Amino acid sequence: MNLILDLGNTRCKIAVVEGKTILESGNYARLSPKEIARFHERHPGIEGVIVSSVVNYSRELIDYLATLFPTCIELNASTPIPLTNLYATPETLGYDRIAAVVGAHSLYPGMNALVIDAGTAITYDLITASGTYPGGNISPGLDTRFRALHKFTNRLPLLERPASGPVLVGSKTQEAIQAGVVHGIVFEMDGFIRSIGLEYPDLQVVLTGGDAKFFAGKLKSSIFVDPVLNLIGLNSILVHNAK
Protein backbone atom coordinates (compact mmCIF):
# COMPACT_ATOMS: atom_id res chain seq x y z
CA MET A 1 0.00 0.00 0.00
CA ASN A 2 1.43 3.38 -1.05
CA LEU A 3 0.66 7.09 -0.81
CA ILE A 4 0.73 9.17 -3.99
CA LEU A 5 1.14 12.97 -4.00
CA ASP A 6 0.59 14.76 -7.32
CA LEU A 7 1.14 18.49 -6.84
CA GLY A 8 -0.16 20.58 -9.75
CA ASN A 9 -0.30 24.29 -10.49
CA THR A 10 -3.73 24.79 -8.95
CA ARG A 11 -4.71 21.50 -7.32
CA CYS A 12 -3.02 18.83 -5.21
CA LYS A 13 -4.06 15.20 -5.55
CA ILE A 14 -3.44 12.60 -2.88
CA ALA A 15 -4.28 8.93 -3.13
CA VAL A 16 -3.76 5.66 -1.32
CA VAL A 17 -3.04 2.95 -3.88
CA GLU A 18 -2.71 -0.79 -3.56
CA GLY A 19 -1.70 -2.51 -6.78
CA LYS A 20 -3.86 -0.91 -9.44
CA THR A 21 -6.68 0.00 -7.06
CA ILE A 22 -7.30 3.47 -5.61
CA LEU A 23 -8.40 2.89 -2.00
CA GLU A 24 -8.93 6.56 -1.15
CA SER A 25 -8.19 9.85 -2.87
CA GLY A 26 -8.57 13.58 -2.35
CA ASN A 27 -8.22 16.77 -4.36
CA TYR A 28 -7.19 19.97 -2.59
CA ALA A 29 -6.30 23.55 -3.38
CA ARG A 30 -3.56 23.22 -0.78
CA LEU A 31 -2.36 20.03 0.85
CA SER A 32 -1.37 20.44 4.48
CA PRO A 33 0.69 18.10 6.70
CA LYS A 34 -2.44 17.60 8.82
CA GLU A 35 -4.30 16.16 5.83
CA ILE A 36 -1.40 13.86 5.02
CA ALA A 37 -1.39 12.73 8.65
CA ARG A 38 -5.11 11.92 8.42
CA PHE A 39 -4.50 9.67 5.42
CA HIS A 40 -1.69 8.00 7.34
CA GLU A 41 -3.94 7.42 10.35
CA ARG A 42 -6.70 5.91 8.22
CA HIS A 43 -4.22 3.68 6.36
CA PRO A 44 -1.47 2.68 8.81
CA GLY A 45 -0.19 0.04 6.39
CA ILE A 46 1.24 2.60 3.94
CA GLU A 47 4.83 1.61 3.19
CA GLY A 48 6.00 4.26 0.74
CA VAL A 49 5.24 7.67 -0.75
CA ILE A 50 6.07 9.30 -4.08
CA VAL A 51 5.88 13.03 -4.78
CA SER A 52 5.38 14.35 -8.30
CA SER A 53 5.22 18.12 -8.65
CA VAL A 54 5.19 20.77 -11.37
CA VAL A 55 5.66 23.48 -8.72
CA ASN A 56 8.33 24.13 -6.12
CA TYR A 57 7.66 22.67 -2.69
CA SER A 58 9.46 22.99 0.61
CA ARG A 59 12.06 20.58 1.89
CA GLU A 60 10.03 20.49 5.08
CA LEU A 61 7.40 18.47 3.21
CA ILE A 62 9.90 15.81 2.18
CA ASP A 63 11.45 15.73 5.64
CA TYR A 64 7.98 15.29 7.15
CA LEU A 65 7.07 12.47 4.75
CA ALA A 66 10.36 10.73 5.51
CA THR A 67 9.39 10.59 9.19
CA LEU A 68 6.13 8.81 8.35
CA PHE A 69 7.05 6.33 5.62
CA PRO A 70 9.98 3.92 5.13
CA THR A 71 10.30 4.80 1.43
CA CYS A 72 10.07 8.37 0.09
CA ILE A 73 10.63 9.06 -3.63
CA GLU A 74 10.80 12.47 -5.31
CA LEU A 75 10.06 12.04 -9.02
CA ASN A 76 12.60 13.78 -11.24
CA ALA A 77 14.32 13.29 -14.60
CA SER A 78 16.80 10.80 -13.15
CA THR A 79 14.26 8.63 -11.31
CA PRO A 80 14.35 5.06 -12.69
CA ILE A 81 11.10 4.08 -14.40
CA PRO A 82 9.84 0.62 -15.48
CA LEU A 83 10.23 1.25 -19.21
CA THR A 84 12.88 2.38 -21.69
CA ASN A 85 12.80 6.15 -22.17
CA LEU A 86 14.04 7.21 -25.62
CA TYR A 87 13.02 10.86 -25.24
CA ALA A 88 15.94 12.98 -26.48
CA THR A 89 15.57 15.60 -23.72
CA PRO A 90 14.35 13.71 -20.64
CA GLU A 91 15.11 16.72 -18.43
CA THR A 92 12.31 18.64 -20.21
CA LEU A 93 9.76 15.82 -20.10
CA GLY A 94 6.82 16.62 -17.85
CA TYR A 95 6.37 14.33 -14.87
CA ASP A 96 2.68 14.03 -15.70
CA ARG A 97 3.58 12.58 -19.10
CA ILE A 98 6.03 10.13 -17.52
CA ALA A 99 3.41 8.99 -15.01
CA ALA A 100 0.75 8.59 -17.70
CA VAL A 101 2.81 6.35 -19.99
CA VAL A 102 3.98 4.23 -17.06
CA GLY A 103 0.35 3.90 -16.00
CA ALA A 104 -0.70 2.81 -19.49
CA HIS A 105 2.15 0.29 -19.65
CA SER A 106 1.07 -1.08 -16.27
CA LEU A 107 -2.54 -1.48 -17.38
CA TYR A 108 -1.76 -2.80 -20.89
CA PRO A 109 1.54 -4.70 -20.64
CA GLY A 110 2.82 -6.13 -23.90
CA MET A 111 0.54 -3.86 -25.96
CA ASN A 112 1.01 -0.67 -27.94
CA ALA A 113 -0.76 2.18 -26.15
CA LEU A 114 -1.42 5.85 -26.80
CA VAL A 115 -2.17 8.15 -23.87
CA ILE A 116 -4.14 11.32 -24.61
CA ASP A 117 -4.13 13.71 -21.66
CA ALA A 118 -6.66 16.48 -22.27
CA GLY A 119 -6.12 19.48 -20.02
CA THR A 120 -4.58 22.94 -20.34
CA ALA A 121 -2.46 21.31 -23.02
CA ILE A 122 -3.31 18.11 -24.88
CA THR A 123 -0.49 15.59 -24.86
CA TYR A 124 -0.21 12.47 -26.99
CA ASP A 125 2.27 9.92 -25.67
CA LEU A 126 3.10 6.51 -27.12
CA ILE A 127 4.31 3.42 -25.28
CA THR A 128 5.21 0.40 -27.39
CA ALA A 129 4.43 -3.24 -26.72
CA SER A 130 8.09 -3.82 -25.84
CA GLY A 131 7.97 -1.17 -23.10
CA THR A 132 9.71 1.62 -25.00
CA TYR A 133 8.69 5.27 -24.82
CA PRO A 134 9.70 7.00 -28.09
CA GLY A 135 7.98 10.30 -27.31
CA GLY A 136 4.79 12.16 -28.11
CA ASN A 137 3.17 15.43 -29.14
CA ILE A 138 1.81 18.53 -27.40
CA SER A 139 -0.94 20.86 -28.58
CA PRO A 140 -3.13 23.57 -26.98
CA GLY A 141 -6.00 22.38 -24.82
CA LEU A 142 -9.68 23.26 -25.08
CA ASP A 143 -9.81 26.32 -22.81
CA THR A 144 -6.37 27.43 -24.03
CA ARG A 145 -7.70 27.64 -27.60
CA PHE A 146 -10.73 29.66 -26.57
CA ARG A 147 -8.51 32.10 -24.65
CA ALA A 148 -6.00 32.37 -27.50
CA LEU A 149 -8.68 33.30 -30.05
CA HIS A 150 -9.90 36.05 -27.75
CA LYS A 151 -6.46 37.32 -26.74
CA PHE A 152 -4.77 37.37 -30.14
CA THR A 153 -7.65 38.83 -32.18
CA ASN A 154 -9.38 42.18 -31.90
CA ARG A 155 -13.04 41.27 -31.92
CA LEU A 156 -13.57 37.60 -31.14
CA PRO A 157 -15.29 37.06 -27.77
CA LEU A 158 -14.01 34.83 -24.98
CA LEU A 159 -16.22 31.74 -25.00
CA GLU A 160 -16.53 28.58 -22.96
CA ARG A 161 -17.15 25.04 -24.10
CA PRO A 162 -20.70 24.37 -25.32
CA ALA A 163 -23.00 22.36 -23.10
CA SER A 164 -23.76 20.06 -26.03
CA GLY A 165 -22.80 19.65 -29.66
CA PRO A 166 -21.51 21.86 -31.13
CA VAL A 167 -22.93 22.15 -34.64
CA LEU A 168 -20.61 21.14 -37.46
CA VAL A 169 -20.88 24.45 -39.33
CA GLY A 170 -21.54 27.60 -37.32
CA SER A 171 -24.08 30.12 -38.61
CA LYS A 172 -22.95 32.85 -36.20
CA THR A 173 -19.63 33.81 -34.64
CA GLN A 174 -20.22 32.09 -31.31
CA GLU A 175 -21.14 28.83 -33.04
CA ALA A 176 -18.23 29.18 -35.46
CA ILE A 177 -15.69 29.54 -32.64
CA GLN A 178 -17.10 26.66 -30.61
CA ALA A 179 -17.37 24.41 -33.66
CA GLY A 180 -13.86 25.26 -34.81
CA VAL A 181 -12.27 24.66 -31.43
CA VAL A 182 -14.16 21.53 -30.37
CA HIS A 183 -14.28 19.78 -33.74
CA GLY A 184 -10.69 20.80 -34.42
CA ILE A 185 -9.57 18.94 -31.30
CA VAL A 186 -11.78 15.93 -32.07
CA PHE A 187 -10.40 15.68 -35.62
CA GLU A 188 -6.88 16.09 -34.24
CA MET A 189 -7.36 13.29 -31.71
CA ASP A 190 -8.96 10.91 -34.20
CA GLY A 191 -6.25 11.76 -36.72
CA PHE A 192 -3.40 10.96 -34.36
CA ILE A 193 -5.11 7.76 -33.23
CA ARG A 194 -5.61 6.64 -36.83
CA SER A 195 -2.09 7.54 -38.04
CA ILE A 196 -0.23 6.13 -35.04
CA GLY A 197 -2.39 3.01 -35.15
CA LEU A 198 -1.19 2.31 -38.69
CA GLU A 199 2.40 2.08 -37.43
CA TYR A 200 1.59 0.44 -34.10
CA PRO A 201 -1.12 -2.23 -34.57
CA ASP A 202 -3.73 -3.12 -31.96
CA LEU A 203 -3.23 0.29 -30.38
CA GLN A 204 -4.90 0.77 -26.99
CA VAL A 205 -5.99 4.39 -26.53
CA VAL A 206 -6.39 5.82 -23.03
CA LEU A 207 -7.99 9.23 -22.56
CA THR A 208 -7.30 11.02 -19.29
CA GLY A 209 -7.13 14.55 -17.91
CA GLY A 210 -9.69 17.15 -16.89
CA ASP A 211 -11.42 17.26 -20.27
CA ALA A 212 -11.43 13.51 -20.90
CA LYS A 213 -15.15 13.03 -20.26
CA PHE A 214 -16.01 16.01 -22.47
CA PHE A 215 -14.30 14.46 -25.50
CA ALA A 216 -14.90 10.77 -24.83
CA GLY A 217 -18.30 10.60 -26.52
CA LYS A 218 -17.23 12.77 -29.45
CA LEU A 219 -14.43 10.56 -30.79
CA LYS A 220 -14.99 8.01 -33.54
CA SER A 221 -12.07 5.93 -32.32
CA SER A 222 -12.35 3.21 -29.69
CA ILE A 223 -10.90 4.48 -26.41
CA PHE A 224 -10.75 3.86 -22.67
CA VAL A 225 -11.29 6.72 -20.21
CA ASP A 226 -9.15 6.55 -17.08
CA PRO A 227 -9.18 9.65 -14.84
CA VAL A 228 -6.64 8.16 -12.40
CA LEU A 229 -4.08 6.94 -14.93
CA ASN A 230 -1.35 9.24 -13.57
CA LEU A 231 -1.86 7.96 -10.04
CA ILE A 232 -1.56 4.35 -11.19
CA GLY A 233 1.61 5.27 -13.06
CA LEU A 234 3.15 7.04 -10.07
CA ASN A 235 2.45 4.01 -7.92
CA SER A 236 4.18 1.77 -10.48
CA ILE A 237 7.23 4.05 -10.40
CA LEU A 238 7.27 3.91 -6.60
CA VAL A 239 7.03 0.11 -6.59
CA HIS A 240 9.81 -0.08 -9.19
CA ASN A 241 12.13 2.01 -7.01
CA ALA A 242 11.25 0.25 -3.76
CA LYS A 243 12.43 -3.15 -4.98
Q: For residue range 155-190, what is the model confidence (pLDDT) as tens digits?
A: 999 999 998 889 999 999 999 999 999 999 999 999
The span from the CA of 58 to the CA of 126, in Å, is: 33
The span from the CA of 114 to the CA of 224, in Å, is: 10
Judge contact between 83 and 105, C-beta under 8 A: yes
* CATH fold of the domain at 1-74: Nucleotidyltransferase; domain 5 (3.30.420)
pLDDT at position 10 over 80:
no
Of 3.30.420.40, 3.40.50.1820, 3.40.470.10, 3.40.50.300, the CATH number of 78-242 is 3.30.420.40
Q: What is the pTM of this model?
A: 0.92
CB atoms within 10 A of CB 127: 29
Based on the residue annotation, tell me whether 96 is a catalytic residue of this protein: yes
CATH 3.30.420.40 boundaries in the chain? 1-74, 78-242
Report the chain's mean pLDDT, rounded to a whole number: 93
Among residues 96, 117, 125, 226, which one is catalytic? 96
Judge contact between 230 and 103, C-beta under 8 A: yes
Report which secondary-structure segment, H or E, holds 91: none
Give burial (CB, 10 Å; 0-12/13-18/19+) of 180: middle
Q: For residue range 32-85, what is the model confidence (pLDDT) as tens digits?
A: 888 899 999 999 999 999 999 877 777 788 889 989 999 999 999 899 999 999
Separation of first and last alpha carbons in the chain: 14
- Please give the pLDDT value at position 28: 87
